């Protein structure tokens, strides 16, 4: 695998972890904490994670970024149905336990161990 493809793969892995973190937190907010002002219980030294959680569009933005990376790796996608299917295939193609181990995380709550500033700068 060439260097550019490896970097794209690594970025995609980290975005998948970040997407899962945001999606999980948003699901918890909608299901458990709707209408309640709850302080986040995760580490966030940069403030970026808190911004992502508070932005209603963050899941869709991360999804678009993951799809764009996938397109760069494989070629263009023709329609929205295929894009949505491909997105779920990309998410399912990664074993999160392997990714947690690779990035020194014990679970999705350790997403702050990723270099989030670097990830955002690459987008």
DSSP the chain: --HHHHHHHHHHHHHHHHHHHHHHHHHHHHHT-TT------S--SSSHHHHHHH-TTHHHHHHHHHHHHHHHHH-----HHHHHHHHHHHHHHS-HHHHHHHTT-SSGGGGGGS-HHHHHHH-
pLDDT higher for 79 or 90? 90
Say whether pLDDT at 34 is over 90: no
* CA dihedral for 35, 46, 52, 86, sign (positive or negative): negative
Residues with Cβ < 8 Å from 38, sequence gap 6 or more?
29
Say whether pLDDT at 20 is over 90: yes
Q: Which two tokens stand for residue 10?
A: 């690594």
Say whether pLDDT at 22 is over 60: yes
Q: What is the mean pLDDT of residues 59-86?
A: 77
Q: Locate the domains of the chain by residue range.
A: 3-122
pLDDT band at 121 (very low <50, low <70, confident <90, very high): confident
Per-residue pLDDT, 14: 93
Per-residue pLDDT, 79: 58
Question: What is the Cα–Cα distance from 100 to 105, expressed in whole angstroms?
Answer: 5
Mean pLDDT of the residues in the chain? 82
Q: What percent of the chain has a predicted confidence (pLDDT) above 70?
A: 80
Stated pTM of the model: 0.80
Q: What is the mean pLDDT of residues 97-107?
A: 92
């Amino acid at each position: 695998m060439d260097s550019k493809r490896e970097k794209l793969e690594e970025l995609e892995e980290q975005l998948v972890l970040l997407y899962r973190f945001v999606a999980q937190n948003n699901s918890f907010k909608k299901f458990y904490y709707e209408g309640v002002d709850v302080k986040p219980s995760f580490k966030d030294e940069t403030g970026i994670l808190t911004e992502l959680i508070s932005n209603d569009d963050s899941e869709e933005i991360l999804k678009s970024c993951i799809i764009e990376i996938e397109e760069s790796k494989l070629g263009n996608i023709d329609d929205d149905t295929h894009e949505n299917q491909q997105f779920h295939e990309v998410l399912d193609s990664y074993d999160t336990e392997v990714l947690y181990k690779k990035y020194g995380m014990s679970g999705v709550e350790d997403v702050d161990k990723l270099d989030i500033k670097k990830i955002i700068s690459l987008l």
